Amino acid sequence: MNIANLFDLSGRIALVTGSSAGIGLALARGLGRAGAHVILNGRRSDRVTEAARSLRDEGSSVVGMPFDVTDSNAVKAAIDRIEAEIGPVDILVNNAGMQRRGPLEDYPEETWHELMATNVDSVFYVSQAVARRMIPRGRGKIINICSVQSELGRPSIAPYATTKGAVKMLTKGMAIDWGRHGIQVNGIGPGYFKTELNQALVDDKAFSDWLIGRTPSRRWGELEDLIGAAVFLASDASAFVNGQIIYVDGGVTASL
């Protein structure tokens, strides 16, 4: 057996939601480097177009597909178009998500619903639409982006932790229901990573010092650290891995 072939994604089509920047773009870049034809997604077509151009300049095969993952009708239409015009989705990465911090006793109801729609509803909508195509083919890979907050809480993020706990359990449920159809559904739980959304925390010396001291690996995560887990879960190397969450967190979830 050629071990390298286990991780080769050549000829496969990968849809990555929320992939115009940050973690989603990094995962798309990694899948593209492994040989996949990558479909970038986001709400803003200008940002999706720019991100797709940057990956193509690096040599990846990429196309942009802007649509709102919180709109079930838009999701169904987009998946129909992808399957008709580009080809069957072999790999789905549900990365789209958001964070809204605030004291739980004063947390606005509309913000709660916005967070749930973006972080949980979207995973259900896109996965269901894609799985309906994967099931007759008898194969497929779905990777849901969870979080260390799927397991751990912190002040002011109870609603976010609720959504990521839900994604963890939805991942397990999908694996149970769809595993018999040859579909593997797993999750990646990132720890604290240096992204544009976390820049304020990176620049906060008190927080950054606390985090580094709290993390067994003694550093922030770099986006490149996520690529190996994504390629593994997207490839034949994980053919018998189902319903699992891989925490890429430097050991945070292993330590008190």
CATH of the domain at 185: 3.40.50.720
Q: Could you give the residue numbers annotated as active site?
A: 160
The total number of structural domains that make up the chain:
1
Residue 24, C-beta contacts closer than 8 angstroms, at least 6 positions apart: 16, 17, 18, 42, 93, 95, 96, 145
Confidence at residue 196, expressed as pLDDT on a 0 to 100 scale:
82
Instruction: With respect to residue 255, please indicate whether it lies within any of the assigned structural domains.
Output: no
Share of the chain above pLDDT 90, in %: 96
Whole domain around residue 93: which residue ranges?
A: 3-249
Residue 2: per-residue pLDDT: 86
Quickly state the pLDDT bin for 198 (edges 50, 70, 90): confident
Q: Classify residue 180: in a domain, yes or no.
A: yes
- pLDDT over 90 at 256, yes or no: no
Give the pLDDT confidence score for residue 184 in this predicted structure: 98
Inter-residue contact 76 to 66 (CB < 8 Å): no
- Start-to-end CA span in the chain (Å): 41
Of the two residues 195 and 30, the one the predictor is more confident about is: 30
Q: Is the pLDDT of residue 219 over 80?
A: yes
| 256 found inside a domain | no
Cα 70 from chain centre: 15
Residue 50 inside a domain? The answer is yes
Provide the pLDDT confidence category of residue 1 given band limits of 50, 70 and 90: low
At residue 12, the pLDDT reads: 98
254 domain-assigned: no
The model carries a pTM of: 0.97
So what's the pLDDT on residue 83? Answer: 98
Q: Which of 255, 22, 251 is nearest to 145 (CA)?
A: 22
Burial class (CB in 10 A: 0-12, 13-18, 19+), 36: buried
- Is position 156 within any domain? yes
Q: Give residue 215's identity as a one-letter amino acid code.
A: T
